[in-house]
Chains A and B, each alone.
Chain A
């Protein structure tokens, strides 16, 4: 952007530019790395940004992340005497172009050190090229698509960019967990899969399909609903015709609600087991009488005993704080991931910052290096270690059966299986 600075000065009233010249240079001894560095002057705040799906249908996912980020920044406190500022929460609109636009907004402020986001995997694929170009680090709390990191066997995903990290688990992991549970614990071999055309749900059903077939099971049908669809009888008829023993539908509450409510009217589904994922282990879906008895897979949220080592806060206290501040429980399961992601970033900033009197310098390349090297960090979600492609999740998937309509927390504690099996 410097190349245009001279032009931009045309727009500036000449006299006032003297003011800038006066408070120009300082900190000459610090040598910035290849990605450049951010210098935070005395009295200024360290800038990080949050980027989440905070509007529209997926706001239930993004809003708790957004809130957890702010809580973490508050709990962490100052870094080397500087405040940390998150600015207004940016919206990734849960789409690639939304992520790209927000990323552009972020990188246009050269003081920004890192980003916590995005909520949706699609948005990350739009944002990362720009975030990476600017040398920033971005940590997501809820992206799960394998294409953003790796296949967990050492091959980078097609949308992997340097500078990308996440505390959320990889879909491949959850797919494996769910497949193991269904095949080994429930002893079922014929499964029907329903996704909704979202990259996340489709990624998870595909991961399940591969894992389940490897175990020797059979996917009798892999079909889809569309977002906003209400009449589910046709799709259920299609599924019933294939004769599954269990239906795995890692979709979102609206469509899942229509499915479970209409299923009793479709012949052939009377003895089928149902299983969902973290998208529907939410209050309004679990309130439905029809959801009783369903299995849910998702990140293990028994965080009550886990303590974040950077802020000394445990999961139980977090939920207490959250409820007292916002008057409700978090609407999705990734609050712990967002909290940990934020403290990881702040800790990394604190560790790599070069203190020069009241000024600090943060080298971008070193920040990334530090994040990649994180190992054995104790967070709310458990012990966090990053691999070379940015998968940092403590990655414990648990599967519970919903057996208590009145008390969802009791249901969520009714855990039948955890993965990895210890």
Chain B
């Protein structure tokens, strides 16, 4: 049998991923998290997923639009087996190559724990054989799955995904269920699903998927067909709103805490979306406005603000903070208004850093507290109580209120005159000016609107945490907000929400952990990988806005060709809300 170059290539890629994840300590670290007790940890899932995907891709071969892809289990399994075998051999060669040397001085993660983990604790000799066999089997499984017919293949995927979701999101599920006895039925004590509960979840997911397949398609169709303003559309929106209102009551403090973090990033994402997504101004210093909001609120409400301490009520201070943010927007926006697009990125990045450095500086310490920050910031007064981070199940409603306001602003501006001016400016600044749009005004308005929305997030942040320190406002925050917007879909409100939910809620934000605390060390590695993958495969984001994706697809012919090559068509025009 001659070796298909594509199979070899995917096998080598799979092996390289296995070696890489081992060498950076990812496998060992993920091994702590048990998914199915006692047989599968996140580490082993990661280890075996690489050959499985390699097998799958090898079986897939070159995809051609013209031919119907072949589906043959045996052939898929065979190709997958070979790819998995190559991957396993690669990983073993890597281990044998590094084993004789003591590399721990330079590569601390290439250590005994890595070898133990990758050899399934069997020792290097027997373990290598086990790894190769396991990898080949994983590859064969991956290839065989590709060979299945559509329906069973989807079933397998669905089952696997639900089992993994249930085991990964143990925290949420047990938090929602709350009753220990039931939680113990699903999850083992040391973490992870029981084997039989995993099987039940898998079977259920398969069965429900098959059972309700038609129904789901019908519902999606119905939602799509419903016209804006129709009764159906309104009732769908009503159901969604009700769900959003009830959800925080169903979940406990931790999940609400996570949701607040997510909501803060949705807010900032919506603001940045106006600047980058609608007006097309790449702002890498957006955190500056967040800082203005947070520090503005801290100075105005905290009794411990060093120099000036009016101790205002949060609600009274909010408009003042908004005005401060608007001024900051103008101050940052004006000097950069006539700059070339790419210079904007570096100059705004610089502005963001300048703000953080000034906040921290000993020079402004008499006003802003410097290294000691500002503490004892009161919560948001609401009737007789004060809502702060100590009661996340109430605070979430405050954040949702402001997210609603920001979403409304984004939605209205998008369809308004200024929204169209932004779109024109984004397309071609000179043409926009030629048809009578004042680009100066349009750009400043984008900066100011974005700044005000970020200041909402800052004002909430202060009241929630109760203290502000400079290190919450570094350049990483700006970049992560940008990633949220881009992964979700530039210009799309739903996209921003989804992006924040996945990135901040699951992986974690710059200073907060997501649901998967294990990822903390590798969070930014995964962020980077997602960003590159998205740009290569789906540059318009997960839930793109119609106009934006049309733009991406309508620019010069060369660009069209480039996107088409990626096969990322947007089939259905979706509303950009």
Please list the residues of chain A having a beta carbon within 8 angstroms of any beta carbon in chain B.
1, 4-5, 7-8, 10-13, 16-17, 19-20, 23, 55, 88, 91, 93, 95-98, 100-101, 104-105, 107-108, 122, 125-126, 129-130, 133, 147, 158-159, 195, 197-199, 201-203, 222-224, 226
* B-side contacts of A98, CB under 8 Å: 511-513
Not counting A95-B472, A97-B465, A147-B375, a sample of 7 additional A-B residue pairs whose C-beta atoms are within 8 angstroms of each other reads A5-B178, A8-B250, A19-B181, A93-B513, A97-B511, A101-B513, A199-B469
Contacts A12-B179, A125-B467, A197-B371; is A226 near B360 (CB within 8 Å)? Answer: yes
What are 7 residue pairs bridging A and B, where the CB atoms are less than 8 Å apart in the complex? A4-B249, A12-B177, A12-B179, A55-B520, A101-B513, A199-B469, A202-B371
B469, A20: Cβ atoms closer than 8 Å:
no
Q: Considering the chains assembled together, what is the distance between the CA atoms of A101 and B472 in angstroms?
A: 14
Minimum CB distance partner of A132 in chain B: B390
B293 at the interface (CB under 8 A from A): no
Point out the residues of chain B lying under 8 angstroms from A201, CB to CB.
371
Binary per-residue interface labels of chain B (451-473) against chain A in the complex, 1 for a CB within 8 Å, 0 otherwise: 00000000001001111111110
* Alpha-carbon separation in the docked complex, A129 to B185 (Å): 35
B175 within 8 A of A: yes
Tell me, rounded to whole Å, the shortest Cβ–Cβ distance linking A149 to chain B.
Answer: 14
CA distance A222 to B464 in the complex (A): 33
The CA of A249 and the CA of B521, in the complex, are separated in Å by 29
Please determine whether B373 and A122 come into contact, CB atoms closer than 8 angstroms: yes
On whether A11 and B250 interact (CB within 8 A), knowing A17-B179, A19-B182, the answer reads: yes
Binding site for A on B (CB under 8 A): 175-182, 185, 246, 249-250, 252-254, 257, 261, 304, 357, 360-362, 370-373, 375-376, 388-390, 392-393, 461, 464-472, 511-513, 517, 520-521
Instruction: Say yes or no: B254 contacts A105, CB within 8 Å.
Output: yes
**Whole-angstrom CA separation of A122 from B369 in the bound complex:** 13
- Measured between beta carbons, the chain B residues less than 8 angstroms from A55 are 520-521
Task: Check A101–B257 contact: CB distance below 8 A.
Answer: yes
Determine the chain B residues whose CB is within 8 A of the CB of A13 once the complex forms: 182
Q: How far is the CB of B447 from chain A (nearest CB, A)?
A: 26
Q: How far is the CA of A105 from the CA of B520 in the complex (A)?
A: 16
Q: Which of B390, B392, B468 contacts A129 (CB 8 A)?
A: B390
A159 and chain B: residue at smallest CB distance:
B375
* Cα distance, A33 to B469, chains bound together (Å): 36
Specify the main secondary structure of chain B where it touches its partner: helix
Q: Name the residue in B180, B182, B373 with the highest tally of chain A Cβ atoms < 10 Å from its Cβ.
A: B182
When A91-B517, A96-B472, A197-B360 are in contact, do A104 and B373 touch as well, CB less than 8 Å? Answer: no
Q: Are B513 and A12 in contact (CB under 8 A)?
A: no
- Report which of B176, B181, B252 forms a contact with A108, defined as CB distance below 8 A: B252
- Pick the 3 closest A-B CB pairs, nearest first: A202-B371, A108-B253, A104-B257
- Measured between alpha carbons, how far is A201 from B360 in the docked complex, in Å? 13
Return A182 CB to nearest CB of chain B, in Å. Answer: 21
B364 to chain A, nearest CB (A): 12
Asked if B370 and A197 make an inter-chain contact with CB atoms under 8 angstroms apart, the answer reads: yes
Across the interface, do B371 and A130 meet the contact criterion of CB distance under 8 Å?
no
* Contacts known (A16-B181, A19-B182, A129-B466); A1 close to B252, Cβ less than 8 A: yes
Q: Would A203 and B372 be within 8 Å (CB), given that A108-B253, A122-B467, A222-B362 are in contact?
A: yes
